[in-house]
């Protein structure tokens, strides 16, 4: 299942609302991993969770491996975690899922060059993250730090994290049919727009 058309095979894949719709179903874990490591982790968690059905939403395009440091812990079991912490005091939290995590990582590097300290949170499963204790959730997404959410889907799932001052970089219409890079540029899901959103809400 894909929230945005990533191929050139016609106007058949435009379900920008499906992720939010699935996340609204009680007792259903919806996983959207960002790379091969998260995919393996989410698959393992889905297989070992007997009381909860699972959906894995996978990207069609090739993605870089973002998890390059070895750990014996399955980080995806917590639903969301800090993939890259801010250097120094955190100014903004960038939250993303799936293929958009890579774009958020690029934005983090650019923001650093412009004097804005950003952390990137990978959020493969919102329901699992919500099931964690409050201390953990506040550690990953500090409540008084502004948030930019990045996802190639509609905004509905993310209101609890955005608050009044957060910004959403994602879809506000149906998708289209074209190569992935062209579509992300067309719909504004870009490093540039994430950087601009982060600077607006941090006033930097």
Tell me the pLDDT band of 14, cut-offs 50, 70 and 90. low
Domain definitions of the chain by residue range = 18-61+74-202
Q: Once rounded to an integer, what is the mean pLDDT over residues 56-79?
A: 90
> Model pTM?
0.90
Q: What is the CATH number of domain 18-61+74-202?
A: 3.40.50.920
Task: Grade residue 6 by pLDDT with cuts at 50, 70 and 90.
Answer: very low
Q: Enumerate residues 6+ apart whose C-beta is below 8 A from 76.
A: 31, 33, 38, 41, 42, 45, 124, 125, 128
């Amino acid at each position: 299942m894909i929230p945005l058309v990533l191929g050139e095979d016609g106007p058949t894949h435009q379900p920008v609302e499906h992720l939010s719709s699935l996340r609204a179903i009680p007792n259903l874990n919806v996983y959207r991993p960002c790379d091969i490591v998260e995919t393996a982790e989410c698959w393992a968690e889905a297989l070992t969770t007997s009381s909860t059905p699972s959906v894995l939403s996978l990207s069609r395009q090739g993605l870089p491996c973002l998890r390059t440091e070895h750990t014996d812990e399955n980080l995806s079991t917590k639903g969301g975690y800090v993939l890259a912490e801010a250097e120094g005091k955190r100014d903004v939290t960038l939250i993303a899922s799936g293929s958009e995590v890579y774009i958020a990582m690029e934005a983090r590097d650019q923001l650093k060059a412009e004097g804005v300290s950003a952390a990137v949170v990978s959020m493969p499963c919102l329901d699992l993250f919500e099931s964690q204790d409050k201390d953990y959730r506040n550690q990953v997404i500090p409540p008084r730090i502004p948030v930019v959410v990045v996802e190639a889907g509609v905004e509905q799932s993310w209101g609890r994290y955005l608050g009044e001052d957060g910004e959403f970089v994602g879809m506000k219409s149906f998708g289209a049919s074209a190569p992935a890079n062209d579509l992300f540029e067309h719909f504004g899901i870009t490093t540039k727009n994430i950087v601009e959103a982060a600077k607006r809400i941090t006033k930097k």
